[in-house]
Amino acid sequence: MLLAFDDELEKQNAASDLLRSGLGMLKDRAGTSAALGGAGAALGGLAGGGLSGIKNYRAARQAGATRGQAAMYGAQKGLKSGAHGAMVGGALGAGAGLAAGGKGSQLAGLAEKITGKEYLGGPSRFAQRQVHSLTGYGTPEQVKAMRAGSYRASERAGRATKGLEEAWGGSDTGALKKAVTEQQRASKGLAAAEKAEKMGLTSLPGYTKSLAKNPLGTIAAGAGEQWHGSGNLGKAALIGLPVGMAGMAMAAPTKEGGPGRLERGARALGSSLTYSMAPIAGMAGMGLLNRGVSAAGGVVGAGGDVALKRRRKVGGELPESQRGPESDDSGASHPQMYYSQAAMGKPPESVGM
Residue by residue, DSSP assigns 55-71 as HHHHHHHHTT--HHHHH
In angstroms, the CA 55 to CA 53 distance is 6
Better-predicted residue by pLDDT, 181 or 329: 181
pLDDT at residue 7, rounded to an integer: 55
Domain for residue 296, yes or no? Answer: yes
User: Do 107 and 235 belong together in one domain?
Assistant: no
Domain for residue 95, yes or no? Answer: yes
What is the residue-averaged pLDDT of the chain? 80
Domain for residue 14, yes or no? Answer: yes
In angstroms, the CA 75 to CA 54 distance is 9
Q: Give the three-state DSSP class for 334.
A: strand
Residue 19 has pLDDT above 50, yes or no: no
User: Do 282 and 140 belong together in one domain?
Assistant: no
In angstroms, the CA 157 to CA 239 distance is 24
- Compute how many other C-beta atoms are within 10 angstroms of the C-beta atom of residue 157: 21
Average of per-residue pLDDT across 330-351? 55
Better-predicted residue by pLDDT, 232 or 196: 196
If pLDDT is split at 50, 70 and 90, which confidence band does 183 have? very high
Average of per-residue pLDDT across 70-94? 87
If pLDDT is split at 50, 70 and 90, which confidence band does 191 have? very high
pLDDT at residue 158, rounded to an integer: 93
User: Do 125 and 242 belong together in one domain?
Assistant: no
User: Do 126 and 252 belong together in one domain?
Assistant: no
Residue 14 has pLDDT above 60, yes or no: no
Domain for residue 161, yes or no? Answer: no
Query: Range of 80's domain?
Result: 1-148
